Structure 1
Amino acid sequence: MRHVRIWQYVDEAARCGSIRRAAERLNITPSALQRRIQDVEEDLGAEVFERLPSGVKLTAAGEMLIHWIRSQSAALQHARSQIEDLSGLRRGSVRIACSQALAVSFLPAEIEKFNAVYPLVRFSAVVNDHGGAITALRDYEADLALVFQPERHNDFQPLMSVGQRLMAIFASGHPLAQKETIRLRDCTAYPLALADRSFSGRRIMESILASVSTRFDVQLESNSFELLRNYVRRTQAVMLQIELGALEDLPDSGLIARPIDDRDLAHGSLVLGQLKGRTLPVAVAKFADQIAHRMDQLRTLPTI
């Protein structure tokens, strides 16, 4: 399948936006890569790239070609996985775009469980918000997306969705620890520690907080959940987080999680999805089934 290698050359140049950088990644010379691209352009009768002083940029024809190359690569991956599945090797790869809260414990545990049965399957996971996750699906850079509260999109096909409550996290000695559920107005007496606006969960929280007539003091924002938890552990600050991520690794952390009272309508959705209309490779489909089953179990998980 030598022609597949040529498509990979074109795709890498498109991703890098530079012939030189793409050649370095492909371990060939820039002149050799340039010749391969020129051969493709001659066959098509159209330029694939616009040559700029800063690098290369896809032309309209190039955009169409890249979409075709990536869709064909995905179809080839699917065919290979079916052939390998028939042979009993169970090889394959699974690429996931996920929310950060799922990267701490949930996703590693599910990958570990899957690899115990299919040890030859390899995984790639990238933390992303829902917009970035859908872009990764469209560009065939991810097979599955597992994100909170994705916006409706024509290219996104939900496979499983489960409701998630908003949780308050604080140190075990915090005054709020005596309560079984927390009203949002209870949190106004304490500073808040929140994930920054790069996370979809933050946007969910902002819409919920905006519906409450009281004001909140956001003392710390960060793109690191570990930093936020360590800060909350040391202070009387309250961290707000979606349920699944909030309940991970709490018993030995010196932290407590309490659900926000249902009267405050503090809910969101965890959604597993794929690119609409795409036939998933065997390994990806099997892993998606496992994740969907686990999400279904979350409906009945007890609250800490």
Structure 2
Amino acid sequence: MRHLRILTYVDEVARAGSIRRAAERLNITASALNRRIQDLEAELGTPIFERLPRGVRLNAAGELMIRHIRSQLADVGRLRSQIEDLSGFRRGTVSIACSHALAHDFLPIEIASYRRAFPLVEFDVRVASHGEALRALGAYEVDLALVFRMSNTVGFQIIASAEQRLMAIMRDGHPLAGTGSIRLRDCAAYPLALPDRSYGGRELLDRAVSQSSFRLSPVIESNSFEFLRNYVRLEDAITFQIEIGAPASLRERDGLIARPVDARDIAPARFAMGQLHGRSLSVAAAKFAEQLAAKLELGPAASAAG
């Protein structure tokens, strides 16, 4: 499929924003790469890149071209996976953008389970915010996006979803480390270590507090759930995470307790796994999506248990 090489070249230049940097990644000379781009532009009858003092960027024609190119490259990857699957060797790369809630337990467990059955399959996982995950999906950079609080985003085709409660996480021995659901008003009396406002869970908290007579004033904010969970082990502080990111194993492994926030304060919201609408997944990605969908349909308890 040598005719696809120029498509790969254009894609790399678009991602790098520089012919020189793209040439280094492709292991060819910058002059050779520039000639190939110019030949393609001559064949199309229009430039697809704007030449800037420090690099290049796609113009309007280039934006149209790159969507076509990435669709073609994705289809080739799917074709290769299907051909390899006919030989009995399911292989390929499954690329995923996921929320931080899945990075600690759920997704590592599911990938390890899948690779025990199909050890030739590789995974490319990026932990991203809601917006970053959807952008990567739309740019054909990932096969699947797993995000919390799905809106009706154009182009996002939901494969599976699950209802998720918001959980209050604290150390074992915290005065509120009891059983059953917990009220936000009770949490307000303790130091709070909150995720920053780029996360769906924080949005739920802020919305609930805006309609209440009390306030949640964090002593710490962070974009790292790992940091927040480690911090609340050290004092009587509380952080929050959606259910799939707060498995029962937290107590035994990290000495942490997770209690659901009372539905009267914050109603459960939905977590979704999806693909780009109209894009066919490779065999490896489709099979892994089936595995995740089956686990999500079992409910939060089964998902958290792994």
Tell me if TM exceeds 0.5.
yes
Partner of 2:254: 253
- Distance in 1, matches of 2:283 and 2:255, equals 42
Check conservation: 2:205, 2:266, Cα contact below 8 A.
no
Describe the shift of the 1:50–1:303 C-alpha distance in structure 2 as closer, same or farther (beyond 3 A): closer
Structure 1, unmatched stretches of 5+, are none
User: Cα distance, 1:301 vs. partner?
Assistant: 4.2
User: Cα distance, 1:248 vs. partner?
Assistant: 5.9
- Deviations, residues 135-171 of structure 1 (Å, cap 9, x unaligned): 1111100100111112211100111111000111111
- Distance in 2, matches of 1:58 and 1:262, equals 48
Aligned to 2:28, what secondary structure does the other structure show?
coil
1:200-219 correspondence to structure 2 within 5 Å: 200-219=200-219
Partner of 2:166: 166
Partner of 1:48: 48
Check conservation: 1:14, 1:58, Cα contact below 8 A.
yes
User: Cα distance, 1:179 vs. partner?
Assistant: 4.4
- Distance in 2, matches of 1:26 and 1:55, equals 16
Aligned to 1:177, what secondary structure does the other structure show?
coil
Larger CA deviation: 20-29 vs 221-230: 221-230
Partner of 1:269: 270
User: Cα distance, 1:58 vs. partner?
Assistant: 0.7
Q: Number of aligned pairs?
A: 304
User: Cα distance, 1:206 vs. partner?
Assistant: 2.1
Structure 2, unmatched stretches of 5+, are none
> TM-score with structure 2 length normalisation?
0.95
User: Cα distance, 1:199 vs. partner?
Assistant: 2.5
1:76-87 correspondence to structure 2 within 5 Å: 76-87=76-87
User: Cα distance, 1:300 vs. partner?
Assistant: 5.1
Check conservation: 2:193, 2:218, Cα contact below 8 A.
yes
Aligned to 1:97, what secondary structure does the other structure show?
strand
Larger CA deviation: 129-138 vs 105-114: 129-138
Aligned to 1:147, what secondary structure does the other structure show?
strand
Partner of 2:147: 147
1:1-304 correspondence to structure 2 within 5 Å: 1-247=1-247, 249-250=249-250, 251-299=252-300, 301=302
Check conservation: 1:144, 1:273, Cα contact below 8 A.
yes
Give RMSD over aligned pairs: 1.7
- Distance in 1, matches of 2:264 and 2:167, equals 13
Larger CA deviation: 200-209 vs 73-82: 200-209
Aligned to 1:9, what secondary structure does the other structure show?
helix
User: Cα distance, 1:110 vs. partner?
Assistant: 0.5
The alignment-based identity, stated in percent, is 57
Amino acid at match of 1:59: N
User: Cα distance, 1:299 vs. partner?
Assistant: 4.5
> TM-score with structure 1 length normalisation?
0.95
User: Cα distance, 1:38 vs. partner?
Assistant: 0.6
Check conservation: 2:204, 2:266, Cα contact below 8 A.
no
Check conservation: 2:244, 2:304, Cα contact below 8 A.
no
